[in-house]
Amino acid sequence: MKTLFSLLCIGMMFILTSCDDDPTPSDNPDRSDDGNSNVVIIDANIVEDAVWESGKTYVLAGRIAVVDGVTLTIEKGVVVKGQAGAGANAAALIIARGAKIMAEGTADEPIIFTSVADEIEPGMIESPNLSPADGGGLWGGLIILGKSPISVSTNEQNFQIEGIPASDPNGAYGGDVPDDNSGVLRYVSIRHGGANIGEGNEINGLTLGGVGSGTIIENIEVIANEDDGIEFFGGTVNVSNVVVWAVGDDAIDTDQAWSGTLNNFVVLAGDETDHTFEVDGPEGSYGEGSSKGHTFINGTVRGSAAAEIADFRDGARATMSRVYFYGFPDPATSGGLGDFSLSGTETIDNFANGYLTFDELEVTLAEGALLNEVFKDGTYAHVTIKDAGSNTVGADTSVLMWTLAATLGEFD
């Protein structure tokens, strides 16, 4: 494969042009940008164990995969920047099925994924030139794929994750290893991603496809992604201590019978956020006749004038407990926005049969809003109305003070 790249470097800014229809990089070693040894251009799939070192910025010059059998270690404080690009040229980091990422930041030195348009450097938490209001779509995102079970409409286990062209074999996910281990993701902030690779097909901030329970994912922040904040496609992975802020579609999206737990999370809806939760049921027969599902527990969810609270649909199976909601509009005066709904007969039946459960939910309603018009389909029976600031459930934000959201006062 021959690919011609033209790189223009202005300080920390890079522009990538490719004349090849398939931008998957050739397997060449990492290389430093001329004149700056602290900026490393990654223009090749990672085919042997590699370490990205503290104090450096790594630039993804396209769609980069850590291939099966290889481990990528990212040290604390590293900044990873994705080149601009849409369609198949969108820059993204893929941890392929069978590969591992060992990305262990700290509260003082988190690992930051962002765009080359961001002038942030190692040692900074706040960007000097971009804010969440600048939105996303400036690069792709982080995609982790594993061998844990997924529900699909056939028995195939080689489904291709959304956001990655079918021609790229590193996009396959799913399998029969519930405790599969894709590594560690700890103290990681992912910003301004979600490049569009096709009509209505953007990359999520963090995509988890068939990721197993042997994987550790905790202390994660996703900011200003054009599409979803975090999307789960099956798998069994547990995720904790999460902030999702100002995304363009759904903050948390679940599909294909993910069966893990999301514990201690804050969702901060933005002006473009669609749902704070979109929860889909299993595809095919996987999970039928059982309570297979996932759990959301200990969350605080702040709405916006344009956001809906949640849509449980297509036979959703889940448990939601100890979550506090506030800041959403009154559905009666906002054209139906701001509601918490169950879509479809199968979902409503699952609620009646105990496969979809809600417990200890609290809400501060918009002035004049009625509880049964906000929490629909009988779900209001599991919700308590609270005055602003008097909630007794929600996230423990003390462990999230390392995030940019906390730094900028979004928890106040």
pLDDT value of residue 199: 55
At 79-130, the pLDDT tens digits run 999 998 766 778 999 999 999 999 999 999 999 999 999 999 999 999 999 9
How far apart CA 381 and CA 396 sit, in angstroms, is 25
Side chain identity, residue 383: V
Domain positions in the chain are 5-407
Q: What is the largest CA-CA distance in the chain?
A: 65
Q: Is 357 helix (H, G, I), strand (E, B) or coil?
A: strand
Side chain identity, residue 317: R
Q: Does residue 200 have a pLDDT over 80?
A: no
pTM, rounded to two decimals: 0.91
Q: Does residue 16 have a pLDDT over 50?
A: no
Find out whether 184 and 212 touch, Cβ atoms under 8 Å. no
Type and span of the H or E element at 404: helix 404-407
pLDDT value of residue 217: 98
How far apart CA 324 and CA 141 sit, in angstroms, is 29
Q: Does residue 165 have a pLDDT over 90?
A: no
At 50-90, the pLDDT tens digits run 999 999 999 999 999 999 999 999 999 999 999 987 667 78
Residue 9: pLDDT band (50, 70, 90) is very low
Average pLDDT of the chain is 89
Q: Is 342 helix (H, G, I), strand (E, B) or coil?
A: strand
Task: Look at 17 and 33; give whichever has higher pLDDT.
Answer: 33
Average pLDDT score over residue span 141-160: 81
Residue at token pair 């999460």: 242
CATH of the domain spanning 5-407, picked from 1.10.10, 1.10.8, 1.10.287, 2.160.20: 2.160.20
